[in-house]
């Protein structure tokens, strides 16, 4: 008796779904096992890595880790580069070079390059692909290739509570105040005061907070719903992990 072709198609489809589930579950296990935390620092020797902080797998380039401090409940996404010093295996002295405060989020593919002191305040959120550096090439001598001239370095400080948009660049010497918003693709140097919004290349202030008049120019969108009182950073991290897991399971069963 001939076998219906649909039977073979159904079996093949079932096998593909089964293999897909196994692969995705294996990938999820690898991501979990290879993530870096205070309890599982992996190959790194960070000066400090706070409770609840997690570096997602795969990690980007990381060196100078004995001079890197990571606060509590930070989320470092995949492929984030964090370096202290111009190259690996340098002795950078007794003080930290790169410091992240508590609750910092670095988006996927961001770069934080600290040849000299670089600080990021509590609760700063970076979108994907942000580039922060304390060092830039110089081109003083027109006869020498730019890449062969000694670079210039200047400390960078990003105040607490800021939002740095996707693809923004923070240049050496930048000083960002509290709750600063940097638009996507902006190139920032110099001083930015508290509660300012900057955009463009070079970045300029496009909106500021006035204690008497509020945001000037006024916001065109309604205020966001605040996080309910009593919600802890641990609960927010757990919620994000649960949402990611739910999304993964939905993808596997689709």
Q: How far apart are CA 119 and CA 125, in angstroms?
A: 13
Neighbours of 240 (CB within 10 A): 12
Separation in Å, CA 44 to CA 41, 55, 78, 182, 196: 6, 11, 16, 31, 36
Across 3-37, b (16+ Cβ under 10 Å) vs e yields eeeeeeeeeeeeeeeeeeeeeeeeeeeeeeeebbe
Confirm whether 137 is a catalytic residue.
yes
- Cβ–Cβ under 8 Å, residues 71 and 104: yes
- How many H-runs (helices) and E-runs (strands) does the chain carry? 2, 24
Pair of tokens at residue 41:
């620092």
**Residue 223 CA, distance from chain mean position:** 25
Catalytically annotated residue among 24, 73, 111, 137 = 137
199 beta partners: 204
191's CB contacts (< 8 A; 6+ apart) are 174, 175, 177
Q: Which positions are annotated as active-site residues? A: 137
């Amino acid at each position: 008796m001939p076998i219906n072709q649909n039977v073979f198609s159904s079996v093949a489809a079932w096998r593909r779904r089964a293999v897909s589930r196994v692969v995705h579950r294996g990938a999820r296990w690898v991501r979990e096992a290879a993530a870096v935390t205070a309890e599982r620092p992996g190959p790194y020797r960070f000066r400090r890595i706070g409770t609840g902080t997690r570096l997602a797998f795969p990690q980007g380039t990381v060196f100078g880790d004995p001079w890197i401090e990571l606060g509590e409940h930070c989320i470092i996404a995949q492929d984030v580069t964090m370096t202290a010093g111009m190259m690996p295996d340098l002795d950078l002295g007794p003080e930290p070079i790169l410091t992240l405060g508590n609750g910092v989020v670095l988006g996927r593919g961001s770069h934080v390059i600290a040849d000299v002191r670089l600080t990021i305040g509590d609760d700063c959120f970076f979108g994907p692909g942000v580039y922060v550096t304390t060092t830039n090439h110089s081109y003083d001598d027109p006869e020498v290739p730019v890449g062969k001239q000694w670079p210039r370095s200047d400390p960078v400080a990003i105040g607490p509570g800021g939002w740095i948009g996707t693809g923004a660049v923070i240049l050496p010497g930048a000083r960002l105040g509290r709750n600063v918003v940097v638009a996507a693709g902006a190139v920032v140097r110099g001083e930015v005061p508290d509660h300012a919004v900057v955009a463009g290349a070079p970045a300029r202030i496009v909106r500021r907070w006035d204690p008497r008049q509020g945001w000037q120019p006024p916001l065109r969108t309604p205020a966001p719903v605040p996080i309910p009182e009593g919600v802890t950073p641990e609960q927010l991290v757990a919620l994000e992990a649960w949402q990611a897991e739910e999304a993964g399971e939905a993808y596997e069963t689709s």
